Chains A and B, each alone.
Chain A
């Protein structure tokens, strides 16, 4: 009870509000990430009251995860990789004047996913963490495969499935560049020191989405703004019926995946998106602006927030890079993750967890209030939008590792990406391969070592068996329906 009072004091509330709004801004800016903001602010909280400092960072984390969806929907420039799936559905909606609705769905889904996961964190953290430990390298490999199965859901209907898979493979191959973790030797780095750690996915993401979008805008023959879009936007559109099913699905998936190690949010968003497509009654609307996809993806990635903190604060094993940066803030204040956090430091840990409920509420209010205004971003003339976003693309690519090299990486991805996009390769599949490739490789290689060279390890545990069933469900029906249409078309042509 006293913990709740701590949260609802004036200074706490102010800190949470500042943190959350800053988080939304950070997530919304192409090139600024939650990891970067939390990492850079950890030293700043050193001089703050520990509880307030943690609340600030928690607010940033919650806000940024939601914020990534705003530019994804409005400009097709996902601010975080976890928002790529949101862009697939959100941008077509914004183009057809339903941007405000897309934003509304996204903020509500984010709120529900975030709140649910924090509730789980509050109630079940120690129990869940013990379960998460059963998840070894072999299971991590399967999780990456589950995420990669998303490539198939990106592809079916319009674009060529084979080309989507090829794009995914290209991404995975680019991810091979760098140090081979197994032997320590360098692969395909061509003597470039910046490539020792491989190609960072953030400059790639900025190049493939933000920059290509700007190149496309710059290359448009005419710069006419469709004002009818705005008129439609101002009409209040109600939330689609049955959307809650997808939000619940995403929240659950996101929280579970968040607890597991790896780049949880991206995998969670894509797996939730993939699930939603499988159970949807209007599959054919996916990729053309279906709010169901946004609901699943956004509740999925925000579900990771609470989930990722479960192993972080109970075991000191951060679920993703943001959680790892947050863990630094705990340690600075002498709060070493472990059981002590829940007894000796309970007066800091519990207010921190409870503050994230408030943070979710803050971005819900902010998001709902701003949605109609944000939708007007579509009215900014491209001639202004392009240089501004391009500037942030350069700055964001640089600031990630303080390396100009990453700016060039971003430009190369923009140019190369545009060429292969024009001939029908899916850039979403490419970025998915780039992000999940290293996780798949690490899990595979480590699994092979632990299994003493036998691939049986990938089928051994109960968790692994369940995961294979899920992979089967995700892969086989769409593959079957794809083959069916393919064969059917051929007969028709013949």
Chain B
């Protein structure tokens, strides 16, 4: 065993943006408007968020301009890394959000349909700028899905017959700098992250993994980065509705022995 670094586990609030406003859906249904993304991002930055993720969940052409404007305003107000996802399907889309001020782009459905999008993005902007978001659903073990976890796209509506573990390894080979693993089964339940899935992906790749979907209590975050092995935990409703502040969650993580950054 070598000396343990002080690299902290990251706590990453995720903001879903629709037409320039913040929303959070429960199991991808029934989204409700809960505020201004720039103000919210600034508040989370002040409270000690380590990074912020924005998903443009409309991603229609007309909403795209509004969203890029949000990204630019966010970039002028927070001085921590942030990533942007939703509707990114080309190197040009990636360039637009990176120029607007994001550090990283997150690709999801488009990468499943066109895996070389990952390598084109990594070649153009570096691996550190390319996060692959994976929506994953538990399925019966089969020859096509030996892990019992399948990649789904379009917010969980379309199963792809693609094994999540095999896909995670492929993403790494293609040049992804990080994976964000979202459990469709756990998302919005607040019952905790899918730890078995998180651990399997973390063991399959050597790049950092972000656990996503299911946070409802501070101990869930502790589990994600200890039992699950994740480098970071994504949170949404647990902080958006004021149940816990970022600082509350970090205090609980620290108490449990998890290295966290304090502000």
Partners in one complex: no
Q: Which residues on A are within 8 Å of B, measured CB to CB?
A: none
